């Protein structure tokens, strides 16, 4: 890391750590959401950024994690156990799915991953005895004060984001990151020079699935109520991609910066256009794709940014 990179990173971490001291519950909720999206974006980045596979299915793992955790927790088991179960289920699901889907490339992979979340939503809706179906699932109340709850989930999400960040860093500076890079540039060539592409792709896919599932499980305990159309929302698949596009795909701290930047934007839109929220969001996406196709880094003054993001 150069000095600039270190500076940006320290600034973000300091800002996040200061949140519980200066912030009220609203700011804390916003920060927790930002951390959650940072986790999802980092999870996406391992497959979409490093390996260059157009993954459109983060919502599937997020929702699966949310429901796994919620079902365990509402049966009376401790929260920690619920989260661990959720991660295990997310991991196993990612491995199985990876074996099947990672044979596909390009458009076919994009569509297949896009439909998984919809399928899981349908299955969750149908399996009423366990998941509560379309009625949703209420999680047991902690019995804490709102402030204590907000603090608790902020630190949990911060912990998860830290683990995700460290994982991303390790992946990027490791054989795995190198192999994924090769796969992105030319998968056939990578195969020919002896990189076991299938294995590395499945590992990347599993990392993404595990982190998204963990984020989902914490999200479920945090909000206390989940329903299929909420946690399997396609926006959970799309937003991380946009955040990665903004911050810089395939970089280590790009996803974190992109998540924070997009979320601030999203919050401003929410507060000002309640009725037209999704429309304005769509407009922003269109503008972003048409005029800033390489994210914030394509604005002239931030060559520095690129450098910082490619830590």
Partner 1 sequence: MIFFQYLANGLILGGLYACIAAGFSLVWGVLSIINLLHGSFIVLGFYIAYFSYTMLGIHPFVSVVTSAIVLGAIGYVVQLGLINRVVARSVLVTLILTFGLELMMNNAMLVSFSADYKKVLLQNPLGIAHLGNVFISLDRAASTVIAFLLILLLWLVLRLTSVGRAIVAVRFDRDAALLMGIDVNRTYAITFALGAALAGAAGSLLSASFPVAPLSGPLFLSKAFVICVLGGVGSVPGAAVGGLAFGLLESFGAVLFGSEYALTLAFVVLIILLLVRPHGLLGVKGF
Tell me which residues touch partner 1 (CB under 8 A): 48, 54, 56, 100-101, 103-104, 106-108, 110-112, 114-116, 118-119, 122-123, 125-126, 234, 238, 241-242, 245, 275-279, 281-286, 288-290, 293
Cα–Cα distance, 208 to 65 (Å, whole number): 12
- Residue of 90, 99, 83, 92 whose CA lies nearest to 58: 90
Cα–Cα distance, 282 to 161 (Å, whole number): 27
CB nearer to partner 1: give 119 or 148: 119
CB nearer to partner 1: give 148 or 276: 276
CB of 178 to partner 1, least distance (A): 22
**Alpha-carbon dihedral sign for residues 227, 230, 234, 239:** negative
CB of 32 to partner 1, least distance (A): 25
Whether residue 45 contacts residue 167, with contact meaning beta carbons closer than 8 Å, is answered with: no
Burial code (b: 16+ CB inside 10 Å, e: under 16) for 22-59 equals ebeeeebbbbbbbbbbbbbbbbbbbbbbbbbbbbbbbb
Whether residue 30 contacts residue 198, with contact meaning beta carbons closer than 8 Å, is answered with: no
CB of 179 to partner 1, least distance (A): 20
CB nearer to partner 1: give 276 or 299: 276
CB nearer to partner 1: give 122 or 267: 122
The residue assigned the tokens 């109520």 is 225
CB of 19 to partner 1, least distance (A): 30
Structure tokens at 64: 């699966």
Give the contacts of 204 (CB within 8 A, at least 6 positions apart): 46, 47, 50, 51, 171, 176, 180
CB nearer to partner 1: give 92 or 123: 123
CB of 114 to partner 1, least distance (A): 8
CB nearer to partner 1: give 265 or 288: 288
CB of 56 to partner 1, least distance (A): 7
CB nearer to partner 1: give 30 or 104: 104
CB of 218 to partner 1, least distance (A): 26
Cα–Cα distance, 53 to 6 (Å, whole number): 29
Burial group, residue 310, by CB count within 10 angstroms (0-12, 13-18, 19+): middle
CB of 22 to partner 1, least distance (A): 34
CB of 145 to partner 1, least distance (A): 37
CB nearer to partner 1: give 163 or 284: 284
Task: Give the CA angle between residues 133, 136, 138 to the nearest 5°.
Answer: 135
Structure tokens at 289: 């794709």
Structure tokens at 201: 């792709």
CB nearer to partner 1: give 1 or 108: 108
Task: Give the CA angle between residues 152, 261, 241 to the nearest 5°.
Answer: 95
């Amino acid at each position: 890391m150069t000095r600039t990179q270190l500076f940006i990173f320290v600034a973000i971490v300091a800002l996040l750590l200061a949140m519980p001291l200066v912030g009220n519950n609203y700011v804390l909720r916003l920060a927790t959401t930002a951390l959650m999206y940072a986790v999802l974006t980092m999870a996406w980045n391992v497959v979409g950024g490093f390996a260059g596979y157009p993954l459109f299915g983060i919502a599937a793992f997020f929702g699966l994690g949310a429901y796994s955790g919620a079902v365990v927790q509402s049966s009376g088991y401790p929260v920690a156990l619920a989260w661990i179960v959720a991660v295990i289920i997310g991991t196993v699901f990612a491995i199985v799915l990876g074996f099947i889907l990672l044979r596909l490339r390009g458009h076919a992979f994009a569509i297949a991953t896009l439909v998984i979340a919809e399928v899981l939503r349908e299955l969750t809706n149908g399996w009423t005895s366990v998941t509560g179906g379309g009625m949703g699932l209420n999680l047991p109340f902690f019995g804490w004060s709102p402030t204590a709850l907000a603090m608790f989930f902020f630190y949990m999400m911060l912990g998860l984001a830290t683990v995700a960040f460290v994982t991303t860093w390790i992946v990027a500076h490791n054989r795995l990151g190198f192999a994924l890079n090769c796969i992105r540039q030319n998968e056939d060539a990578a195969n020919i020079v002896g990189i076991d592409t299938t294995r590395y792709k499945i590992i990347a896919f599993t990392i993404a699935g595990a982190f998204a599932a963990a984020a989902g499980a914490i999200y479920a305990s945090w909000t206390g109520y989940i329903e299929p159309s909420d946690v399997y929302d396609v926006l959970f698949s799309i937003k991380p991609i946009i955040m990665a596009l903004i911050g810089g795909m395939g970089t280590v701290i790009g996803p974190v910066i992109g998540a924070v930047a997009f979320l601030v934007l999203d919050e401003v839109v929410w507060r000002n256009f309640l009725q037209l929220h999704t429309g304005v969001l769509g407009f922003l996406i269109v503008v972003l794709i048409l005029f800033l196709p390489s994210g914030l880094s394509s604005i002239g003054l931030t060559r520095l940014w690129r450098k910082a993001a490619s830590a």
